[in-house]
Structure 1
Amino acid sequence: MDIAGSIAAVTAALGLVKELREIDAQYDKAEMKLKIAELTEALSDTKQGVADVAQALKEKDEEIDRLKKALQRREITVERRGYRYRQNANGDPVGDPFCPICLEEGNFTLTAPSYEVGKPFKCPRCKANFGRLTSYRYTE
């Protein structure tokens, strides 16, 4: 159940509570029991809806945390010739580039030599092939 469904269930439960308050002595016990059963069902739906919303919010918070970490890690990389690299203390690129496909997904996977003709670099995670890439060696 989504947020709108949870709100609708709460509204229905409140409406039933209002009806219970307005019951006169002229109503019999059967009518009262029916209204209480409807209220119980509405509150049960509300409880389930709130639990679903809480789970969805937890998943969203986890995704936000994952994206924040990816963004923070991306900030400590440097771009050269369309690829992102780790950077040294001087801000220069170091090592092999990260796979741009995986990087867009928030995964920091380094490309690696594939030793295939015409496809010298390959991502070990997504298996994407890349042409010639520049590897930077660490120098201070």
Structure 2
Amino acid sequence: MDVTGTLTAIGTALSVVKQLTEIDAHFDKADLKLKVAEITSALAQAKLGLVDAEEVIRAKDSEIKKLWDQLKYKAENTTRLDSMLYDTEDGQPVGRPYCPVCEEKGSLIKIIQDLVGPGRLFNCPKCKSNFGHVSVWQSKNGNY
């Protein structure tokens, strides 16, 4: 149940409670039991809706944390050179770049070199984008 449905269920329960407060002496037990059942049902729906809303909020909080972590990582550990994002070592680009297509979609995926295809071009293993020839920077310890 979404937030709107939850608010509707709470509103229904409140309107039934209002009807109960306007009860007169001639109201019989069957009508009273019916109104209490309506309140119980509406409040149960509201409770389920709030549980669903809590799950949605937790999922969104988790996604926000993941995005903040990515932003922090990118700010502290990467540099951009010729429109490609690289890891850094002492402020200099190191290794293979990240796929800019996947980066735009929120993923940091390093591109790979196709060793069997003609020209040994670089491709993204996830989105399959082809980047042709790109610069690969060697680190101080000799790794790529």
- Normalised by the length of structure 1, the TM-score is 0.91
- Extract unaligned runs of 5+ from structure 2: none
Aligned-residue Cα RMSD (Å) equals: 1.6
* Mapped partners of 2:111, 2:29: distance in 1: 74
Tell me the residue number matched to 2:3.
3
SS of the counterpart of 1:86? strand
Matching of residues 46-125 of structure 1 within 5 Å: 46-75=46-75, 76-89=77-90, 91-115=91-115, 116-118=117-119, 120-125=121-126
Segments of 4+ in structure 1 off by > 4 A? none
Over residues 76-120 of structure 1, what are the superposed CA-to-partner deviations in whole Å (9 max), with x where a residue is unaligned?
Answer: 21000010000112x110111111122223322211111222461
Alignment check: 8 A CA contact 1:96 1:111 kept: yes
- Normalised by the length of structure 2, the TM-score is 0.88
Q: Aligned pair 1:133/2:134, yes or no? A: yes
- Extract unaligned runs of 5+ from structure 1: none
